[in-house]
Amino acid sequence: MYDEQGARYLDCINNVAHVGHCHPKVVEAGTRQLATLSTNNRFLHDELVQCAQTLAQKMPGNLSVCYFVNSGSEANDLALRLARQHTGRHEVITLDHAYHGHVSAVMDISPYKFNQPGGDPKPDFVHVAPCPDVYRGKYRDCDYPEGTDLGQLYVDEVQHLIDRSPTGVAAFIAESLQSCGGQIIPPIGYFQKVYDAVRKAGGVTIADEVQVGFGRIGTHYWAFEPHGIIPDIVTVAKPMGNGHPVGAVVTTPEIAESFAATGVCYFNTYGGNPVSCAIANAVMRVIDEERLQENALRVGHYLLEQSKALAYEYQLVGDVRGTGLFVGIELVADRQRRLPATRAAKAVVERMKTVHRILVSSDGPDDNVVKLKPPMVFTAENADEFLYGFRECLTYLEQQQTNVAPDVANTPVRVTHPLATGGILQPSPINRSQRDTSTLIKSI
Q: Is residue 442 part of a domain?
A: no
**Residue ranges with strand state E in 151-219:** 169-175, 204-208
> Which band of pLDDT confidence, cut at 50, 70 and 90, is reported for residue 215?
very high
Whether 56 and 414 have beta carbons less than 8 Å apart is answered as no
Helix extents (H) in 310-377: 342-354
Q: Is residue 417 part of a domain?
A: no
How do residues 176-203 score in pLDDT, each as one tens digit? 999 988 999 999 999 999 999 999 999 9
User: Is 93 in the same domain as 142?
Assistant: yes
Q: Is residue 332 part of a domain?
A: yes
User: Is 283 in the same domain as 296?
Assistant: no
**Mean pLDDT along residues 139-146:** 94
* Predicted pLDDT of residue 425: 41
Report the percentage of the chain scoring pLDDT > 70: 90
Q: Is residue 103 part of a domain?
A: yes
User: Is 143 in the same domain as 278?
Assistant: yes
Residues with Cβ within 8 Å of residue 431, at least 6 apart in sequence: none
Whether the pLDDT of residue 144 is over 50: the answer is: yes
Whether 210 and 238 have beta carbons less than 8 Å apart is answered as yes
Task: Provide the domain count of the chain.
Answer: 2
Whether 366 and 9 have beta carbons less than 8 Å apart is answered as no
> Which band of pLDDT confidence, cut at 50, 70 and 90, is reported for residue 109?
confident
Q: Is residue 138 part of a domain?
A: yes
In sequence order, the β-bridge partners of residue 249 are 67, 235
CATH number at residue 79: 3.40.640.10
User: Is 87 in the same domain as 70?
Assistant: yes
**Mean pLDDT along residues 72-84:** 97
* Predicted pLDDT of residue 443: 30
* Predicted pLDDT of residue 413: 39
User: Is 192 in the same domain as 217?
Assistant: yes
How do residues 291-329 score in pLDDT, each as one tens digit? 999 999 999 999 999 999 999 999 999 999 999 999 999
pLDDT-wise least confident of 14-18, 80-84, 102-106, 409-413: 409-413
Pairing of strands 233-236, 204-208: parallel
> Which band of pLDDT confidence, cut at 50, 70 and 90, is reported for residue 117?
confident
User: Is 278 in the same domain as 397?
Assistant: no
* DSSP 8-state secondary structure symbol assigned to residue 131: P
* Predicted pLDDT of residue 52: 97
User: Is 63 in the same domain as 90?
Assistant: yes
> Which band of pLDDT confidence, cut at 50, 70 and 90, is reported for residue 435?
very low
CA-closest candidate to residue 212, choices 224, 204, 194: 224
Q: Is residue 7 part of a domain?
A: no
User: Is 129 in the same domain as 209?
Assistant: yes
What SS3 state is found at 188? coil
* Predicted pLDDT of residue 167: 94
**C-alpha distances out from residue 386 to 12, 253, 423, Å:** 8, 45, 38
> Which band of pLDDT confidence, cut at 50, 70 and 90, is reported for residue 72?
very high
Q: What is the C-alpha to C-alpha distance for residues 341 and 343, in angstroms, rounded to an integer?
A: 6
CA trace torsion 343, 348, 349, 352 (10° rounding): 160
Cβ burial, residue 408 (10 Å; 0-12/13-18/19+): exposed
What SS3 state is found at 198? helix
pLDDT-wise least confident of 38-52, 70-84, 268-282: 38-52
User: Is 283 in the same domain as 321?
Assistant: no
Q: What is the C-alpha to C-alpha distance for residues 231 and 64, in angstroms, rounded to an integer?
A: 12
- State which residues form the domain around 384: 292-403
What SS3 state is found at 303? helix
Whether the pLDDT of residue 369 is over 60: the answer is: yes
Whether the pLDDT of residue 409 is over 80: the answer is: no
Whether the pLDDT of residue 439 is over 80: the answer is: no
User: Is 316 in the same domain as 281?
Assistant: no
**Mean pLDDT along residues 351-357:** 96
**Mean pLDDT along residues 47-74:** 97
Cα-flanking dihedrals φ and ψ of residue 127, to 5°?
-120, 130
Helix extents (H) in 59-149: 72-87, 104-107, 111-114
Boundary-marking domain end, from 290, 315, 347: 290
User: Is 301 in the same domain as 211?
Assistant: no
Whether the pLDDT of residue 255 is over 70: the answer is: yes
* Predicted pLDDT of residue 405: 46
**C-alpha distances out from residue 283 to 24, 36, 51, 60, Å:** 11, 19, 10, 20
Q: What is the C-alpha to C-alpha distance for residues 184 and 178, in angstroms, rounded to an integer?
A: 5
How far, rounded to the nearest angstrom, does the alpha carbon of residue 422 sit from its chain's CA centroid?
32
User: Is 386 in the same domain as 340?
Assistant: yes
Q: Is residue 151 part of a domain?
A: yes
Q: Is residue 204 part of a domain?
A: yes
> Which band of pLDDT confidence, cut at 50, 70 and 90, is reported for residue 11?
very high
Boundary-marking domain end, from 274, 290, 306: 290
Boundary-marking domain end, from 290, 324, 354: 290
> Which band of pLDDT confidence, cut at 50, 70 and 90, is reported for residue 419?
low
Pairing of strands 327-334, 339-340: antiparallel
What SS3 state is found at 323? coil
